[in-house]
Structure 1
Amino acid sequence: MNTRNPRPDVSPALRAHLAAIAGPGRLLTDPADCWPYGYDNSRRQALPQAVVFAADTGQVAALVRLCAAQGLPLIARGRGTGTTGATVPDRGGVVLSFERMNRILRIAPGDRLAICEPGVVNADLQRAAGAAGLFWPPDPTSAAVCTIGGNLAYNSAGPRAVKYGTPRENTLGLTAVTGLGEPIRTGVLTTKGVVGYDLTRLIIGSEGTLALITQATLRLTPLPEATRTLRAAYRDIQSAAAAVATLMAQPVTPCALEFMDAAAIAMVRGYAAVDVPAATGALLMIEVDGARAGIEDAAAALAAAARNEGLLEVRHARDAAEVQALWRTRRALSPALRQVAPKKINEDLVVPVSRLAEFIDGLARLARETGIRIVNFGHAGNGNIHVNLLMNPDDPAEMARAHACLDAVFSLTLGLGGTLSGEHGVGLEKRDFVDRELDAPTLAVMAAIKQALDPAGILNPGKALPS
């Protein structure tokens, strides 16, 4: 979907200013060159007036000051893997691409930290940290291509968050440029520090609306000695949800606890061979990691916690081949969804773990009432479920029903004490629903923070918060 946006021609004077700040080979103004930087992984696309490739903090600060003086929107971008339109320049302006600012500056095993630029790809950081026996816990599905800056902008985590937390829990400090064009340093180099306000956590998840991250100090964790993988099949969602609650209440915390509902399993059955019991109505993928000496006891504890009357089977992987076999059903889901519904609505919603069964039951009811097929999977240990509404975007009547269904899905989520986004962010897609979750006084405080850090309103305007 192309987002309509004004794109006045770049005047010779403005182009000269941008070129002077960007430096040789770091500015695009031809529309044909700019179009590829006007999209993300949503169905939105808009044309920026210019694209600048970030080089360093000083250059970014100078660009912010120019855009503030000119009233030009400035939108930060990594590799465009976000799903909510947060990097789409729907109001024109300048896209600031961090893809070339991709250096890992330091890995300090003794301090368990890494310092890197925002354009570093998550998987590249993991390889570099792994060579020192460490890893950075956030592991989004797109880790092979997404950047650290994007992970921080959305607070994107992935399956390991159930044990290790999100980027907010795994970032020690930042260097960032505010909308005033002023570089600031937040946080510390230590795991303890309470001087001043916690601006690090404020900027993480703000989608480039408060400040532009130019360097991150990340907290690393030692690689576990051993990992064990289990897969539990259940007769129905109630049994699986009860098992999730039990698993999360006992002492051994899984490092991954993934979920697929009956609709997801049925979709995979239509796409590939599925090695699960025929009566399976819900599936849990369970992983545990830790010291080699205690890993078998930890796996046994999780297997015991997963057992209830609705359990059909628990399978344990004993080697790498069996691990791959157990994960095959889950990994077949994404290609199945792309084949069946390439233009689905994909929401990442979160409810308390104790209310997971109510949530899935409610989604099944909405599917029946609206005639919209809904497929659910995700990170059960956090209550973070990816809700996929399958529809034909070329059918206006079906699209209308899908949007009515989505509205009801959001109401269901909030009614259960949940939140509208776990890790995909708000961007444009969820912006107009935010005031359902946040009350007016809270939004007023957030608007005041935005005004203080970005008084000209140029940093990713119109994103994350209602107008």
Structure 2
Amino acid sequence: MSIYPKLILNSSPVTPQEFLTNLVQIVDEQRVRFDPADCWPYGYDNSRRHALPQWVVFALTPKEIRDIIRLCNHARVPLTPRGRGTGTTGATVPINGGLVLSLERMNRIHLVDPANRAMVVEPGVTNQEVQMAAEQRGFFWPPDPTSAAFCTVGGNLAYNSAGPRAVKYGTPRENVLGLRAVTGAGEEIRCGGYTTKGVVGYDLTRLLIGSEGTLAIITEATLKLTPLAEAKQTLRAAYRDTESAGQAVAALMSQPLTPCALEFMDRQAVTLAQAQGGATLPGGTGALLMIEVDGPAAAMEEAVTQLKKAADNAGLLEIVAAHTPQEVAQLWSARKALSPALRTLAPKKINEDVVVPVSHLPALIGGLERLAREFAITIVNFGHAGNGNIHVNLLINPDDPLEMERAGKCLERVFELVLSLNGSLSGEHGIGLEKRDFVAREIDATTLNLMGRLKAQFDPRGILNPEKTLPLKSLT
């Protein structure tokens, strides 16, 4: 029996051995894997889906990526780009086998340019490495997902992943000046530039960000940096119920001072946060807001007064400020521990990151609580309330077929609720496989057809991360 895996498509003009030989000519042999045991870890992401790729390649240069894509086009082998696999939607799972192109070794920071508030990086640099390099020069890059220590910039851009600071500073789309990439046709392109203004040509930078590696593979990014604030103040507000907290969010976001973070936790999340982070809260706390403001030190006292006034309503139980770095760290560690801690409450969680207009948050949370009762499913809600981006977690037992059936029906109703509130199915986790079949409920057929044609223009043979993001009918 041959040690070489079969090509995924029978119409391939090359044999498996010829494909492997050509692959080794592009990158050295030490950066190619084809043994199933070596390829196995690269077949999954944080969605817990898994599919075994036939090959794994570690690229180091844009030229290697270009040549690998051209080889896959010639051999008709599907290619799945991958960073560190921290995504939750199955976008890096090679469901058709083929080749996984790992970008984790393209991890250099080429330039930090304080004068122009810019940083040029490769896609395999982690978010945390970017933050550390920027901080040394008095800056930061606003996107700050919970997995910052592990996730790569390339992954952040592929999903448009943001985090708490997006409420004031925006998502990756607002914080990237330009990109270099290789399309699914094997063509090297450059989009955007090195300036904060520019209207020459179409905005391909924003198109590629959030496209989940279905159009092109990003090989370099010019990030827009922001100066570190002189001071920062963190508040914690406890409310009797989620409706009161939702009303406070709307009030906070409609006054002139924009928080740099505004996080929400419902009753279930509060209970978990107390267990994980040791937070002491008033009895009867049914919801929690964490509010952060930054700016000049001289303005902090007035800013805190203004935020406290906006956050005050009949349901407020307590609002306190963190006075030491230790108190701030404890507050945020409780919030950031929520997502992994949820896995201790049930064998599986269905994690959705829906978005609604901020004024509709009370209706969303109230509707989710009703659905939890109707379907007898535990639902834990928390997230970035300042831009209406709530992480909805359905906690389930995958070995219970009746509960799984209820969860599936509940999830459909969750999406119906979100869309009825003029919301969106995903704020920062992306679509991948998990939400692909629901996309047509949000985007009309004519628009989806146009997106399918864009995909075909960038990737005419459909080799690049196939069957992800767009409903299959839009790709025919």
TM-score by length of 1: 0.97
Most deviating of 64-73 and 162-171:
64-73
* Code of the aligned partner of 2:425: L
For 1:446 and 1:327, the matched residues in 2 are separated by 39
Give the structure 2 partner of residue 443 of structure 1: 448
* Code of the aligned partner of 1:339: T
Residue in structure 2 matching 1:131, options 119, 133, 136: 136
* Code of the aligned partner of 1:136: W
For 1:173 and 1:328, the matched residues in 2 are separated by 33
Change beyond 3 A, Cα 1:197–1:129: same
Give the structure 1 partner of residue 102 of structure 2: 97
Change beyond 3 A, Cα 1:85–1:279: same
Residue in structure 2 matching 1:308, options 287, 308, 313: 313
Contact 2:183 2:217 in 1 (8 A): yes
Change beyond 3 A, Cα 1:271–1:102: closer
SS of residue matched to 1:25? helix
Give the structure 2 partner of residue 276 of structure 1: 281
Give the structure 2 partner of residue 167 of structure 1: 172
Q: How does 1:111-190 map to 2 (within 5 A)?
A: 111-190=116-195
Change beyond 3 A, Cα 1:253–1:272: closer
- The answer to whether the aligner puts 1:358 opposite 2:359 as a matched pair is no
How far has the Cα of 1:7 moved from its partner? 6.8
Give the structure 1 partner of residue 31 of structure 2: 26
SS of residue matched to 1:435? helix
Residue in structure 2 matching 1:419, options 405, 412, 424: 424
SS of residue matched to 1:326? helix
* Code of the aligned partner of 1:388: N
* Code of the aligned partner of 2:280: D
SS of residue matched to 1:110? helix
How far has the Cα of 1:271 moved from its partner? 5.8
Change beyond 3 A, Cα 1:272–1:160: closer
* Code of the aligned partner of 1:90: I
Residue in structure 1 matching 2:92, options 87, 92, 101: 87
For 1:455 and 1:328, the matched residues in 2 are separated by 45
Deviations 1:373-432 (CA, angstroms, capped at 9, x unpaired) = 101000000100000001101111111101110111011111110000000000000000
Contact 2:79 2:464 in 1 (8 A): yes
Give the structure 1 partner of residue 339 of structure 2: 334
For 1:336 and 1:206, the matched residues in 2 are separated by 29
Contact 1:7 1:48 in 2 (8 A): no
Change beyond 3 A, Cα 1:314–1:91: same
Deviations 1:117-143 (CA, angstroms, capped at 9, x unpaired) = 000011001111111111110000000
For 2:170 and 2:329, the matched residues in 1 are separated by 25
**When the two structures are aligned, how many residues end up with a matched partner?**
463
Change beyond 3 A, Cα 1:327–1:65: closer
For 2:90 and 2:313, the matched residues in 1 are separated by 42
Give the structure 2 partner of residue 377 of structure 1: 382
- The answer to whether the aligner puts 1:242 opposite 2:236 as a matched pair is no
Contact 1:6 1:92 in 2 (8 A): no
* Code of the aligned partner of 2:147: S
How well do the aligned residues superpose, as a CA RMSD in angstroms?
1.5
How far has the Cα of 1:16 moved from its partner? 0.1
SS of residue matched to 2:30? coil
Give the structure 2 partner of residue 49 of structure 1: 54
Give the structure 2 partner of residue 259 of structure 1: 264
SS of residue matched to 1:405? helix
Q: How does 1:213-224 map to 2 (within 5 A)?
A: 213-224=218-229
SS of residue matched to 2:351? strand
For 1:292 and 1:380, the matched residues in 2 are separated by 25
For 1:51 and 1:325, the matched residues in 2 are separated by 40
Contact 1:346 1:388 in 2 (8 A): yes
SS of residue matched to 1:132? coil
Change beyond 3 A, Cα 1:335–1:432: closer
How far has the Cα of 1:236 moved from its partner? 1.0
How far has the Cα of 1:272 moved from its partner? 6.4
Contact 2:140 2:226 in 1 (8 A): yes
SS of residue matched to 1:114? strand
TM-score by length of 2: 0.95
Residue in structure 2 matching 1:208, options 188, 213, 224: 213
Most deviating of 332-341 and 430-439:
332-341
Give the structure 2 partner of residue 348 of structure 1: 353
For 2:333 and 2:456, the matched residues in 1 are separated by 48
Q: Which runs of 5+ in 1 are unaligned?
A: none
Deviations 1:328-347 (CA, angstroms, capped at 9, x unpaired) = 54345335312112411111
Most deviating of 266-275 and 405-414:
266-275
Deviations 1:25-72 (CA, angstroms, capped at 9, x unpaired) = 211111110011110001201111101111111111111111111111
For 2:146 and 2:87, the matched residues in 1 are separated by 11
Q: Kindly, what percent of the aligned residue pairs are identical?
A: 64
Give the structure 1 partner of residue 322 of structure 2: 317
Contact 1:231 1:314 in 2 (8 A): yes
Change beyond 3 A, Cα 1:6–1:371: farther
* Code of the aligned partner of 1:459: L
